[in-house]
Amino acid sequence: MDPIALDLDVMATYLLGQAAENPQRRASQRIDLGHQQLRMTAIGFDTGGELPEHKNPGEAVLQVVRGLILLPDETRSTEDEARSRHVAAGTIARIPDGVHSVEALEPSVILLTALPVPGRDEHGRH
C-alpha cells in the first residue's frame, strides 16, 4: 500500500464484497499511513452488520464512505432528541465517549480514525 495515499472507493468496494461473504456481515482493514499514535481502520458492513456495544478507546471520529449507519449513543440522556443518530455517506461524526455500537442500515463502509488516550486499552478500559 502507498504510505501516503489510499483510494477509498477501491477499498470500499473490496470491503463490501468481503462483508457480504462473512457470516458476521462485516470486514475490516487497518490502514497504515505511517503514524505513530493515530489509528485508522476501514470497516465494511452488509445490511444488518454491526459492531456490538463497546467503549471508545480514546478520541475518535468516523466517516461514512458509503451507505447509512445507525450510531446509538448511551451517553445521551433521555431528554435528548434521540439516543441514536443516522449517519449517511459523506458525513463525519464524533464517536461517543461511552458505550456505543454501529449498525449498518444498508451496505456501508466507515473509516474510523482514533487517537488512543494514555491509560486506556483498545476497548476503553483503564
Assess if residue 121 is contained within a domain: no
Would you place residue 111 in the very low, low, confident or very high pLDDT band (cuts 50, 70, 90)?
Answer: very high
Identify the residue with better confidence: 25 or 122: 25
Assess if residue 80 is contained within a domain: yes
Q: What is the mean pLDDT of residues 82-87?
A: 77
Assess if residue 123 is contained within a domain: no
Assess if residue 2 is contained within a domain: no
Domain of 88, CATH number, reads 2.60.120.10
Average pLDDT, rounded, for the chain: 83
Would you place residue 9 in the very low, low, confident or very high pLDDT band (cuts 50, 70, 90)?
Answer: very high
Would you place residue 122 in the very low, low, confident or very high pLDDT band (cuts 50, 70, 90)?
Answer: low
Do residues 96 and 57 touch, judged by C-beta distance below 8 A?
no
Assess if residue 92 is contained within a domain: yes
- Report the range of poorest mean pLDDT among 11-15, 34-38, 88-92: 34-38
Burial of 49: CB neighbours in 10 Å, binned 0-12, 13-18, 19+: buried
Whole-number pLDDT of residue 96: 78
Assess if residue 81 is contained within a domain: yes
Residue 90: give the domain boundaries.
8-116
Is residue 81 predicted with pLDDT exceeding 60? no
Which pTM value belongs to this model? 0.81
Assess if residue 126 is contained within a domain: no
Q: How many domains does the chain have?
A: 1
Whole-number pLDDT of residue 99: 80
Distance, in Å, from the CA atom of 46 to the CA atom of 17, rounded to the nearest integer, reads 9
Among 108, 101, 91, CA closest to 42: 108
